[in-house]
Amino acid sequence: MSGTTEIEQLIVMLSRLPGLGPRSARRAVLNLLRQPEARMLPLARQMERTAQSVKTCSQCGNLDTVDPCNLCTEPMRDHSTVCVVETVGDLWALERASVHRGVYQVLGGTLSALAGCGPDDLNTRSLLERIEAGGVKEVILALGATVEGATTAHWLQEKLSAYAVTISRVGHGVPMGGALDGLDDGTLAAALMARRSLG
């Protein structure tokens, strides 16, 4: 690509994104370069605006441009039912499926000795605060059906047993070894419907 440093550099940066390789990064850049002003510049500006305005919700850990996020301030939501997920991607997957009308808590990961992720690394403080402030009736653990997910669910269940809240976990439907993000809407709905009380 002959010292075309700006273009080359852009392709290199894009090709590092998950799901893209050098080939699709090149295709994307060539496509955008057909109309640099009309297509590439607006995308760059949108990306800049997003990067500069994104905030982590102090209540639930969701990513949004306002804090608290739009989910936490939506009046029609059932704020007494909190669905605990591992990642923002999992939250988005549940929202796309429209299967949870309560609010969320994004842990930001799972307990994992391998990944060096301990209890203090998980975003649970704002969940406990919400429970202590009263008004939370049920906590649904919607964690992945992985060893780490199960370990985290067990740990969280113990941690929450001191409070007067119903604890449930998503049930049938989450395939063993699978993450929530990527599941079809029906499977997500079934998993929520089949949640089992642990309390």
49 to 68, contacts with a second copy by CB under 8 A? 49-54, 62-65
Continuous segment of H or E residues that includes residue 37: none
For residue 193, the partner it binds in Zn ion, a second copy, none, with Cβ less than 5 to 8 A by kind, is: none
Mark 175-197 as b/e (b = at least 16 C-beta within 10 Å): eeeebbbebeeebbbbbbeebee
Q: Determine, following the binding rule CB under 8 A, whether residue 76 of this chain makes contact with a second copy.
A: no
Q: Which is nearer to a second copy, 33 or 147 (CB)?
A: 33
Query: Contact 100/127 with Cβ under 8 angstroms?
Result: no
Q: Which is nearer to a second copy, 95 or 158 (CB)?
A: 95
Enumerate the H helices of 16-165 as residue ranges: 22-33, 41-53, 70-73, 88-97, 125-132, 147-160
For residue 57, the partner it binds in a second copy, Zn ion, none, with Cβ less than 5 to 8 A by kind, is: Zn ion
Which amino acid belongs to residue 113?
A
At 42, phi and psi to the nearest 5? -60, -35
Q: Determine, following the binding rule CB under 5 A, whether residue 60 of this chain makes contact with Zn ion.
A: yes
Q: Determine, following the binding rule CB under 8 A, whether residue 116 of this chain makes contact with a second copy.
A: no
126 to 185, contacts with a second copy by CB under 8 A? 182
Q: Which is nearer to a second copy, 96 or 196 (CB)?
A: 96
Coil, strand or helix: which one is 84?
strand
Positions in the binding site for a second copy (CB under 8 A): 1-7, 9-10, 13-14, 17-20, 23-24, 26-33, 36-37, 40-54, 62-65, 69-71, 74, 87-89, 92, 95-96, 182
